[in-house]
Amino acid sequence: MHPGMRATHLMLALISRDWAGLPIALLVAAGGGWCTALGAAWVVPGALLLGVAALLAAGSLRHLVHVARAGASNPPPGRMVDVGGHRMHLLAEGDSATRPAVVWMPGGHAPGHAMHHLHTMLREHTRSILIDRPGSGWSDAGPFPRTTATEAAELLTVLERAGEEGPFVFVGHSFGGLLVANAARCRPDLVAGLVLLDPTPPDVITYGPPNPVLRQSGPRLFLRSAVRKLFGIHSGAGAEPSPAVGSRTRADCAAASIFRELTPAGMAAVGWQTMVYDGDLGDLPLLLVAPRDLTGGEQVLDAAGDPEEAVRVRRFYLTTRERFLATSTMARRVHAPEGTGHGFPDEVPGFVAETVRTLLSELESNRPAPSS
């Protein structure tokens, strides 16, 4: 790893600890004390540093109180499972009977809670499992750097150590779709089927046009958010859509680390471990569920600059997602309802739940539909 990158991840590992603001404030205070000891010419800079240190310490204490209160009022609803030096949170409800259990993985670096509405729809039909990726929800941050390949392995480990029995049906949205496809590639024996909800195609990152959406969710955004939280400024930013654990810095630090893959250089560096190539999934039943068009993607098309380029951008985004169909001989396409966009799991959750139930019924009767 490049020395600069190593230093970045060491910094993220530090500020992922909610108490890290206090030693940082202490270091600034030490610098202020050292300045004042140098003589009269350094008294004013030293006093300024001491004042900054006092503000940082006060903000850090505010943050720690906030986290403690949030943790006390929101205990983990599921189990904390050790996966080798750090713990992951897993919530499993319902009985699988003759059907595989369903494992949900939301997009971005969101906690499992982001798909709780879908979880509640399936737990009456089979066992349904929500997992917090390291750093999100109630899970510990885990070691840095965070990578998709690492988190795919951790996903399989937490299921095994929690005693959940496969094979599973993995359902992943966006970046979560890329994660579960990796898990299926690594351990096909643990996977009965895949439902990929508009999964992130690595080609979009490596070869795609400039994407303002990706820029807006870049590592620097999450790093700034983590620093603000560390010193008591909690409003207006963050990787954690759920109030469950209340503005902990580890969510942003984990996102800042793993989202370094979402650049051409970052994806090129991890491509062999992260991409799922043609034929990698053998004859695994796979549903690729996505909208027919780019509804909701106007920001990307507008960035193309001219109408002809926008046509090319539209074609690129619509065809790259179809590459997932080549990963398995038993893959087939399902179109999301008309008028929905990339966020259709939230827009039409009933449709998503019914799609998953359909695959479960096919697997139960050992009659997965042929590819199309």
Q: What is the pLDDT of residue 243?
A: 47
Q: What is the pLDDT of residue 139?
A: 96
Q: What is the pLDDT of residues 112-130, one digit of tens each?
A: 999 999 999 999 999 999 9
Q: What is the pLDDT of residue 116?
A: 97
Q: What is the pLDDT of residue 210?
A: 74
Do residues 67 and 104 lie in contact, with contact meaning Cβ atoms separated by under 8 Å? no
User: What does the block give as tokens for 40?
Assistant: 């009269």
The residue extents of the domains of the chain are: 3-73+218-251, 81-216+262-364
User: What does the block give as tokens for 194?
Assistant: 């895949």
Stretches in the chain below the pLDDT threshold 50: 237-239, 241, 243, 372
Q: What is the pLDDT of residue 238?
A: 47
The listed CATH number (3.40.50.1820, 3.40.50.2300, 3.40.190.10, 3.40.50.720) that belongs to domain 81-216+262-364:
3.40.50.1820
Query: For residue 223, how many C-alpha atoms fall within 13 Å in the half-sphere facing its CB?
Result: 15
User: What does the block give as tokens for 81?
Assistant: 């499972």
Do residues 147 and 116 lie in contact, with contact meaning Cβ atoms separated by under 8 Å? no
Task: Give the single-character DSSP code of 290.
Answer: E
Q: What is the pLDDT of residues 15-34, one digit of tens each?
A: 999 999 999 999 999 999 99
From edge to edge, which strands make up the β-sheet containing 191-197? 79-82, 87-93, 128-131, 101-105, 168-173, 191-197, 286-290, 331-335
With H, G, I as helix, E, B as strand and everything else as coil, classify residue 262: coil
Q: What is the pLDDT of residue 24?
A: 96
